[in-house]
A and B are shown apart, each in its own frame.
Chain A
Amino acid sequence: MKIPRLNRRDFLKTWGWSLASTLSVTTLRPAVAETERPGRTSAYHPGAHEGRTGGMVTVGEVDHVRNGFDPSDILSSWATGKTSRLADGRRLREFLIIAVDKEIEIAPGIFFPAWTYNGRVPGPTLRVTEGDRVRIRFINYGSHPHTLHFHGIHSARMDGVPGAGEVAPGESFTYEFDAKPFGCHLYHCHSVPLKRHIHKGLYGAFIVDPAPELHAEHRVAASSRLLGSAENMRWQELVMVMNGFDTNFDEENEVYAVNTVAHAYVNRPIRIQRDRPVRIYLINVTEFDPVNSLHLHANFFDYYDHGTTLTPTLRTVDTVMQCQAQRGILEFSFSDHEPGLYMFHAHQSEFVELGWMSHFEVV
């Protein structure tokens, strides 16, 4: 489908941003009361937590307003799409994703010429339910061809690779498939060169919640994962995309983070209520390094590799590693812990020292 070519700058100036941000944050956010939203971060006090870093920290604070996205919000903002019913009674979820070039601040004072989905890195967290029909209109206002390649089950035509759903600058394409299997997945650009297109910022989380009626033997577990269900409301759900940025383009990352901004959750720790369990949708998109990892301090978790099972694939571990595009679900609780700051970070010290360090503030 050919759409009229717009001057990219004009587009951004006039209505691009309001559209992109509205789609990604406001309209697609589920109706969960603000106070109950997990992952709310505590008020920022400059330097309040720097003592925990021993001076090994980036200096300053990223301007999230200028970036147009805030890692603290990314944690728990779900894009659930515009829903309607198909003739066969199934639910249809429609999304709009726009690729735009955008300079973002990835660590205080360090700017990166990113390629983004909807102006943010990672792109919007798409959240659907197993069996939904998913329709994504993708418009490319970037300077290079891009695709949306979903990790999921779909036809060859919908694969989002060169020759199948690749979108030239100024054009668009609509991807459509059934949401399966349930789990914690991702989408990313599959245009070539791959490394450049991925590490410039074209990736995002794609979560398929299990439909409880299809899993009679694990109905409670399935319900607890279904966004908006009574069982799900108890959980504090967080999406964490482990990424890195090669700011000088030497094929080594200068900055590592979860959800893009180095030390974002050191400066503003993620607030956790200890009487409610925690679920992390963890995805590794780090380019150039073979693996990334998450290590939780003072606690252990159950792990569901790819999130495609309702029983843990690893029990009682405090560290998990993922290769690129590997992902999984972590479940744990701080109910027996005293309140305080609890670290979590990659257990590659190199990544920790370059920004992938975070805190939970357990209250």
Chain B
Amino acid sequence: MDLRRWSSLLLPLVILGAAIALFQLANPLALLGVSPPPLEELTVERTVLDGDGIALKIRAVGSESMRIGQVMVDGAYWRFSLDPPGALSRGEVTWVRLAYSWVEDELHEITFVTNTGMTFGHTIEVAEATPRLNASQLSGYGLLGLFVGVFPVALGLCFRPALQRAGRNAFQFVLALTLGLLTFLLVDTLDAGLELGAQAASLFQGQVTVWLAALVAFFMLMAIGRRHGRPPNGRILAWYIALGIGLHNLGEGLAIGGAFAAGAGALGTFLVIGFTLHNLTEGIAIAAPVTHEPVPARVWGGLVAVAGLPAVLGIWMGAYAFAPHWSALFLGLGVGAILQVLVEVGDYLRRMSGTSGNSLVSGISSAGFALGVVIMYTTAFLVPI
């Protein structure tokens, strides 16, 4: 680029810098005649309960730096330490450690009192020891992830021979059913993402992150999927479905891991069976576009891994490294991926219907769609997270 082009790029930036400097020097806000105190806000991002007491990772998100004056546990001032100590600038994190003998299965209320006397509460709903990062707990959570993610998807794929033997109408019914369950997953993932986004420090604008990540993921996946000018179908479509479902299962894993870490989940065979039934249909969805295509075993393995293994990853993340803003981002991406497969499966169904002389919105497809939603909705009763 020549000098002229460079200067035309730099000039606005230079003027901006000068304007900021002028603003700081002249302080035109003084004309307003008010000097509001700095806004203080903080968010608890992680809670660790162990033999040493309670540790909380907090992030300051106020307008200026803030200081923790004292910390109460259940309405009592308690000896605490900050790591690192001192004032917290906007966006900075510190660990607050309290040598407090918390009571298992009971509720504890933490209150941070800042140096200006503002208070911020944080509730530990059910005190449970935080999972330890050791082989046995790690593999235990991993196994749980396999049960709720990988196993049901693999099981769902086993319906493929039945799909093959079914007629053309039955196949359309199954595709519509897939659309129904994908719609459920879309709403469910968006709901979970927005909920986590609300928990994230305001600095990260969690809910905006979810929407934007969803849109960006959707358009990028659409562009990649149709880069050759045709909509994906067959085996390629199966991969995309597996990806969308995988991101949804990552979110499910986050919820499960986070719930167990926080003591809010009732771990038991009931839950595992519930998730297995709930996620069984996900396998059917992946199998649907490749019903009439030969698929090698390693591809089956890959599809199951892409769709199911993120549940394991999600459970680990939820249990050990829970940070709502990252979770919100992943779930946002999941929403976009699910929306993409929803569009592509819908398009596939439209083309299929066209060749068989049915319209997209036929009795068969409506019934399939409704059944898909209903199955997902009712099996969700079984997973109390």
A46 in the interface, Cβ–Cβ < 8 Å?
A: no
In the bound assembly, the distance between CA atoms of A254 and B116 in angstroms comes to 12
**Interface-located stretch among B63-71, B152-160, B328-336:** B63-71
Q: Are A108 and B78 in touch, CB under 8 angstroms? A: no
State the majority secondary structure of interface residues on A: loop
B273 in the interface, Cβ–Cβ < 8 Å?
A: no
Chain A residues bordering chain B, tally (CB within 8 A): 23
List, in ascending order, chain B residues with CB within 8 A of A50's CB.
Answer: 79
In the bound assembly, the distance between CA atoms of A78 and B69 in angstroms comes to 32
A-contact 0/1 string along B76-94, CB 8 Å cutoff: 1111110000000000000
**Interface-located stretch among A14-22, A37-45, A349-357:** A349-357
In the bound assembly, the distance between CA atoms of A354 and B114 in angstroms comes to 15
Q: What bracket does the count of chain B residues touching chain A fall in?
A: 20 to 34
In the assembled complex, the CB of B336 is this many whole angstroms from the nearest CB of chain A, namely: 41
Q: Are A59 and B113 in touch, CB under 8 angstroms? A: no
B119 in the interface, Cβ–Cβ < 8 Å?
A: yes
Q: Are B72 and A59 in touch, CB under 8 angstroms? A: no
A112 in the interface, Cβ–Cβ < 8 Å?
A: yes
B115 in the interface, Cβ–Cβ < 8 Å?
A: yes
Q: Are B117 and A110 in touch, CB under 8 angstroms? A: yes
Q: Which residue of A lies closest to B71 (CB)?
A: A59
A247 in the interface, Cβ–Cβ < 8 Å?
A: yes
Q: Are A55 and B70 in touch, CB under 8 angstroms? A: no
Q: Which residue of A lies closest to B101 (CB)?
A: A55
Q: Are A248 and B77 in touch, CB under 8 angstroms? A: no
B220 in the interface, Cβ–Cβ < 8 Å?
A: no
B-contact 0/1 string along A82-124, CB 8 Å cutoff: 0000000000000000000000000111111000000000000
Known: A56-B77, A57-B77, A254-B113. A109 touches B69 (CB 8 A): yes
In the bound assembly, the distance between CA atoms of A319 and B67 in angstroms comes to 37
In the bound assembly, the distance between CA atoms of A111 and B75 in angstroms comes to 19
Q: Are A107 and B69 in touch, CB under 8 angstroms? A: yes
Q: Are A350 and B75 in touch, CB under 8 angstroms? A: yes
In the bound assembly, the distance between CA atoms of A50 and B79 in angstroms comes to 10
Q: Name the one of A55, A56, A108, A248 contacting B119, with C-beta atoms under 8 angstroms.
A: A248
A262 in the interface, Cβ–Cβ < 8 Å?
A: yes
A58 in the interface, Cβ–Cβ < 8 Å?
A: yes
Complex interface residues of chain B between 92 and 121 (CB less than 8 A to chain A): 99-100, 113-119
In the bound assembly, the distance between CA atoms of A59 and B77 in angstroms comes to 8
In the bound assembly, the distance between CA atoms of A175 and B368 in angstroms comes to 88
In the assembled complex, the CB of B232 is this many whole angstroms from the nearest CB of chain A, namely: 56
In the bound assembly, the distance between CA atoms of A55 and B80 in angstroms comes to 9
B-contact 0/1 string along A245-272, CB 8 Å cutoff: 1011010001000000011000000000
Q: 8 interchain pairs (CB within 8 A)?
A: A56-B79, A57-B78, A57-B79, A59-B77, A111-B116, A247-B117, A263-B77, A355-B77
Closest 10 A-B residue pairs measured CB to CB? A247-B117, A353-B76, A109-B69, A110-B69, A55-B79, A58-B77, A248-B119, A58-B70, A109-B115, A56-B76
Q: Which residues of A contact B (CB under 8 A)?
A: 50, 55-59, 107-112, 245, 247-248, 250, 254, 262-263, 350, 353-355
Known: A58-B77, A109-B70, A353-B77. 11 other contacts (CB 8 A): A57-B79, A107-B113, A109-B67, A110-B70, A110-B114, A111-B69, A248-B117, A248-B119, A353-B72, A353-B75, A354-B76
